[in-house]
Amino acid sequence: MAKTEVTINGTRHSVEADDDTPLLWILRDTLGLTGTKFGCGVGVCGACSVLENGEAVRSCQVPCSDLAGRTFVTIEGLSPDASHPCQKGWLEEEVVQCGFCQPGMIITACGLLKSKPNPTDADIDAAMSESVCRCGTYPRMRKAIRRAAEVMRSKGNP
Amino acid sequence: MIASRRTFLKTAALSGASLVIGIKGTRLVNAASQAAGTAFQPSSWIRIDPDGLVSLTIGRTEMGQGVRTSLAMLLAEELEADWTRIKLVQAKPSPGSDLGTGGSDSIRSGWKTLRQAGAAAREMLISAAAARWKVDRETCTASHGKVVHASSGRTLGYGELVNDAARLPVPEKPPLKAREKFNIIGRRTARIDGRDIVTGRARYGIDTKIPGMLYASLERPAWNGAKLKKMDEDGARAVNGVRSIVKLPGGGVAIVASNTWAAIKGRAALSVEWDAAAPNEAFDSDAHVKRLEAASRETGFITRKEDAPPDTGPVTKTIEAIYHYPFYAHAPVETMNCVADVRENRCTIWAPTQAPERLQRLVGELLGIPRENVEVNVTLVGGGFGRRLGVDYAVEAAAISRAAKAPVQLLWSRADDMKHGHFQAASAHYLSAGFDANNKPVAWKHTKAGSYHNISPLDPEDQRNIEWYQGWSWGCYDVPYAFPAVQTAYVAVDLPVKHGPWRAVFAPSSVFAREGFVDEVAQSLGADPLTFRLDMLKGADVIKAGDATIDRRRLRRVLQTVRQKSGWGEKLEKGRGRGVACNAYFGYTYIAYVVDVSVDQEQHVRVDRVVAAVDCGLVVNPVGVEQQMESGIIWGISSVLGGEITFKGGSAQQNSFADFAVARMRDVPPIEVHIIGADAAEPFGMGEPPVPPIVPAITNAIFAATGKRIRRLPVRPEMLAG
C-alpha cells in the first residue's frame, strides 16, 4: 500500500491502493469513473480500455505499482458533450445496442486512429477484433470509425 | 432517495400541478381523480409537468433491443409530444405489475396501451385548451407539445394546460391516429440513451454506488449441490480491505471487502475444498448427449399429428437424420451483478434484471419478508439474452447483505458467468421424411429430445396438455411446410445443471434441425433448396399449428426477396457455397436468409455475405429492426463458429471469451437487410426472431461448399476434413 500520483482526464490524483490493484478498479471504485467497464478482468474483452498517449491500453492489466507519473484519458475525458469525432461517428451511424462495451470500443477506435489516421478495412478489423461486443454492433462500428477518420483527417488533428 | 411512486402519485394528485395518467393493464386512470387513500399503484404512468416535460415510466428492461426508445415513440406519437422533451423513468414492481422482459413481446403488448394513454392525455389537453379559449374543441389540434387553434393563431403549451386537464375525466376510447398521420412511428429514430452511452454516463447495474456499500465476490460450489469440505480463511483475512467472510445457505463462501479488488483478491486467497461429486451426480455433457440421442428415437409426447389424405400414395422410401444442438452460455459483456441493501424487514435492490417481479418474490422469500418490502430498481442491462430472467445473483446479493449487515455489491467474475449460467440446454432432434413411389415427399417427422427449464418450478402434471408440450418445442411443432403427413413430438430428458431461456429460447435448436433436414430432403430429390421450400409452402395460405397462426404468403415473400436480392442460383467458385433458411417466429415475424460462405484449405469457414429479408409487420423504428437483424445474424455466427459449453464432473469447463469464443469484428461479413411488409396494421417483436434461421442458413451454405452435412455445432475444421 503506497500513495501514487496519476493523472486522469487532466486531473492529478493521489491514490492509495495495494500495489497489485488494477487501474480499472482505481478508476471505478476509488475515483468513481464508471464509464470504464469491467468485462473479464483478464485482458481478453477490451471493455476496460483507456487511452495513454493516444494509445488504447487495458486498464485491468495495469497495476497500481506501475502508475506513478502516468497520464490516462477515460471515456469521460474524451469530450464533455459527445463531440469527439469517434463519439459523433458512433451516434451518426446508430451503433449502440446495450452499449456496455461501447466506451471500450470507442477508446480502442481512438487508439487505432492515432496510429493509423487512414486505416484500411483490414486495419479496422485487426484493431477492433481484440474486443468483444455480444450484441453484434460490429458492422456499424466499422462505418463509425471510417466516418470519424474522415472527420479527423479533414480537421487535421487526431 | 427518490420518493416512492405511491407517495409521488398522491402528491401529484393533491397539488394538481401535473397531469398524471396511470396505466394498469388496459385501464387508464387520472391520478387526480383518485379518492384519497385508495391504493392506486399502476405499473406504468405518464406525467406532464407544468414546464411541459413529459415523463414516461417504462415497464420493460432495456438490454440493447432499443425498447426505451421504441416504447417512448409509441407514446409520443399519440400524445403529439415534443420528442426532445421526454424523460424516461424505469418502473418498479408493484402489486399486479408485469414488468418481465422476454419473448420479443414489448412492442406487441405496448402497441395498444401506450398509444391509448398518449391519445387520452392528448384529448384531455385539447379539451382543456378549448375550454380556456371558449371554442369548439373540434377546431383545436395538438402538435409538438402544444395545442393550436389555427383560425385564431393561438397556442398553449401542454405545461400551461396540465392543471386544467388534470380535472377532466380520462376518455375511455380516445381516437387513435390513422397510420398515414404518423410522424414518429416508422421514422428512423436515434436511441434515446445514445449520448449517455458514448460519453460513459449511462449507468448499468455494475455502476451502482450507494453510501456505505461494500463489495463481494462469491466462491460457489464446484458443482451443483457440492458441500464444503474444508476451508482455510487465513489467507483471505490477511488481504488488505477484506471485512468479512460469509457462508451462504446455498453452499457458497462470500468475501466482503471495502473495494472490488480486495474482494477478488480475498477470494483468490481463500483455500476451499468441495466434496467430490459421486459418479452418478457428476454431470458430463458427452454422456448427456448420448442420452438425448437415444431419447430422440422414442415416440415422446405427440405435439402435432396430421395424417395424409386418403389419396396420398404409401411411403416407399424414408430418409432420416439426427441433429444435435450443444450447450451455450449467454455471455453478456456485463457479468451478473447486484446491489442489495437489507435492513431489518426491508430490502432495496439495484439489479440489471429482466424479471423484477420474480426477483422481488424470491428475495422476499429468502429474507422471510413480504415481497412489497423488497424495492427493486431495474438498471440498464449490459446484455440480457434471457440470462437475466434468472435472478440467482440477486438472491445471493441479498443473502450476503443480510449476513454482512451492510449494503453490498456482488459482482460475478467472467469465469463465474461462464460456469454458473442458466445455459441454453443441449437437445437432440430425430427427423425423417417419407417419399411415395413417385418420389414425392409425403411425410415429415420431427422428435425433439430436450429438457424442461429448471430456473422456475414446473407446472403440475395434470396441467401438461398438448399446448404445454408445444411450449417446449418452438420451431418443431410449427413446421410451416405442406407435407401431407406431419408428426412432431417432444421427449424430456433430465438435466441437473441450471438451464433456462436463451435468445429465441427453444427455437434455435429446432429450426437448425428442421431447416437442415429440409435441405436434405431437397438434396435427396435433386431439387434446388430455395425452390423446394417455396414449393412446400403452397397449399393453404394460412395454417394453424398449436397457438401459432402461420401465414405462408409472408414466408414465401421473404424467401422470394432473398432469392432475388442475393443472385440465388449463380454458380460459385470452388470452396464457396450459398445456403438458405427461413422461419416464421410464432407466425409473428418472418425471416429468410441467404448466406455465402467460403471454406479454405485448412477447412476454416468464413461467412462472406448475408442477405436477409424480414417481415415484422408495421415497423416502429427502422433503425431498431436493422440493428436486431445484424445482432441476431452475428449471434448465429457465434453459434456456428464460436464456442460451446461442455461439462465434466458436474462443472462447466469454460472460463472466458478465450475458451468460449464469440464473433469478433473480423468474423462479420457484409450484411444486407431488406425490410418488407411494413404496411401491416400492427408491429411484432424483433429481439429474438432473427436468431433461429441464421444458423441453418450458414450450415446449409457449408454443405453447398463442401458436400458435408452439418448436424452438430459448433462447426470445427476436423468435421469438414476428408
- Pair B511, B688: CB distance under 8 Å: no
Chain A: give the shortest CA distance to residue B346, in Å: 26
Smallest Cβ distance to A25: which of B259, B632, B634?
A: B259
**Which residues of chain A have a CB within 8 Å of the CB of B209?**
32, 34
**Which residues of chain A have a CB within 8 Å of the CB of B666?**
125-126, 129
Q: What is the pLDDT of residues B380-391, one digit of tens each?
A: 999 999 999 999
pLDDT at B9 over 80: no
Mutate one of B199, B414, B416 to test the A interface: name it (highest A CB count within 10 A). B199
d(Cα B528, Cα B150) in Å, to the nearest integer?
62
The strand ranges marked E within B8-126 are 19-24, 27-30, 44-48, 54-58, 86-90
pLDDT given for residue B5 in this prediction? 41
Three cell numbers written together for B139: 377546431
pLDDT given for residue B105 in this prediction? 85
**Between B67-79 and B106-133, two packed helices, what is the crossing angle to 10 degrees?**
30
Q: Which residue of A has its CA nearest to B625?
A: A97
Three cell numbers written together for B414: 467472467
Beta carbons of B627 and A137 less than 8 Å apart: yes
Beta carbons of A40 and B414 less than 8 Å apart: yes
Q: What is the pLDDT of residues B394-421, one digit of tens each?
A: 999 999 999 999 999 999 999 999 999 9
Comparing A124-133, B415-424, B512-521, B674-683, which segment has the lowest mean pLDDT?
B674-683
| Count of all residues that appear for chain A in the document | 158
Q: What is the pLDDT of residues B590-624, one digit of tens each?
A: 999 999 999 999 999 999 999 999 999 999 999 99
pLDDT given for residue B110 in this prediction? 86
Beta carbons of B194 and A45 less than 8 Å apart: no
DSSP conformation letters of B377-422? EE-B-S--TTGGG--HHHHHHHHHHHHHTS-EEEE--HHHHHHS--
The three-point CA angle B116-B122-B126 to 5° equals 145
pLDDT at B191 over 80: yes
pLDDT in tens, chain A (158 residues): 779 999 999 999 999 999 999 999 999 999 999 999 999 999 999 999 999 999 999 999 999 999 999 999 999 999 989 999 999 999 999 999 999 999 999 999 999 999 999 999 999 999 999 999 999 999 999 999 999 999 999 886 54
Residue B465 pLDDT level (bands cut at 50, 70, 90): very high
Residue B108 pLDDT level (bands cut at 50, 70, 90): confident
Q: What is the pLDDT of residues B522-542, one digit of tens each?
A: 999 999 999 999 999 999 999
pLDDT at B11 over 50: no
Beta carbons of B240 and A79 less than 8 Å apart: no
State the average pLDDT over residues B560-587: 97
B226 versus B646: the higher-pLDDT residue is B646
d(Cα B608, Cα A153) in Å, to the nearest integer?
30
pLDDT given for residue B281 in this prediction? 77
State the average pLDDT over residues B335-342: 98
How many whole angstroms from its chain centre is CA B710? 27
Whole-model pTM over 0.90 = yes
**Which residues of chain B have a CB within 8 Å of the CB of A137?**
627, 630-631
Beta carbons of A94 and B190 less than 8 Å apart: yes
- Pair A114, A55: CB distance under 8 Å: yes
pLDDT given for residue B31 in this prediction? 80
pLDDT given for residue B41 in this prediction? 61
pLDDT given for residue A156 in this prediction? 66
**Which residues of chain A have a CB within 8 Å of the CB of B332?**
98, 100, 134
pLDDT given for residue A157 in this prediction? 54
B4 versus B442: the higher-pLDDT residue is B442
Q: What share of chain B is helix, strand, coil (3-state, %, to 5)?
A: 30, 25, 40
**Which residues of chain B have a CB within 8 Å of the CB of A37?**
204, 206, 333-334, 382
- Pair B62, B381: CB distance under 8 Å: yes
Residue B96 pLDDT level (bands cut at 50, 70, 90): confident
**Which residues of chain B have a CB within 8 Å of the CB of A136?**
630-635, 663, 668
pLDDT at B7 over 60: no
Residue B39 pLDDT level (bands cut at 50, 70, 90): low
Beta carbons of A132 and B664 less than 8 Å apart: yes
Smallest Cβ distance to A141: which of B199, B411, B665?
A: B665
Beta carbons of A18 and B663 less than 8 Å apart: no
**Which residues of chain A have a CB within 8 Å of the CB of B202?**
99
Residue B13 pLDDT level (bands cut at 50, 70, 90): very low
d(Cα B700, Cα B512) in Å, to the nearest integer?
10
Alpha helices in B539-645 (DSSP H): 552-566, 622-641
d(Cα B572, Cα B489) in Å, to the nearest integer?
38
Q: Which residue of B has its CA nearest to A28?
A: B207
Q: Is the peptide bond before B714 cis (omega within 30 degrees of 0)?
A: yes
State the average pLDDT over residues B362-376: 97
pLDDT at B74 over 80: yes
d(Cα B583, Cα B628) in Å, to the nearest integer?
16
**Which residues of chain B have a CB within 8 Å of the CB of A96?**
191, 193-194, 197-198
Question: Could you tell me what percent of chain B has a pLDDT over 90?
Answer: 86
Q: Which residues neighbour A104 within 8 Å (Cβ) at sequence distance 6 or greater?
A: A36, A37, A39, A45, A46, A47, A48, A49, A131
- Pair B579, B704: CB distance under 8 Å: yes
Q: What is the pLDDT of residues B483-501, one digit of tens each?
A: 999 999 999 999 999 999 9
pLDDT given for residue B533 in this prediction? 98
- For chains A and B, what is the number of CB pairs under 8 angstroms? 183
Tell me: ipTM over 0.85: yes
State the average pLDDT over residues B553-577: 97
Q: Which amino acid is at B582?
A: C
Mutate one of A1, A59, A100, A141 to test the B interface: name it (highest B CB count within 10 A). A100
Three cell numbers written together for B658: 478465450
B53 versus B8: the higher-pLDDT residue is B53
- Pair B20, B32: CB distance under 8 Å: yes
B235-243 contacts at long range (C-beta below 8 A, 24 or more positions apart): B235/B269, B235/B270, B235/B271, B236/B266, B236/B267, B236/B269, B236/B270, B237/B266, B238/B269, B239/B265, B239/B266, B239/B269, B240/A1, B240/A18, B241/A18, B241/B265, B241/B266, B242/B266, B243/B214, B243/B404
pLDDT given for residue B226 in this prediction? 83
Strand partners, B683: B617
pLDDT given for residue B429 in this prediction? 98
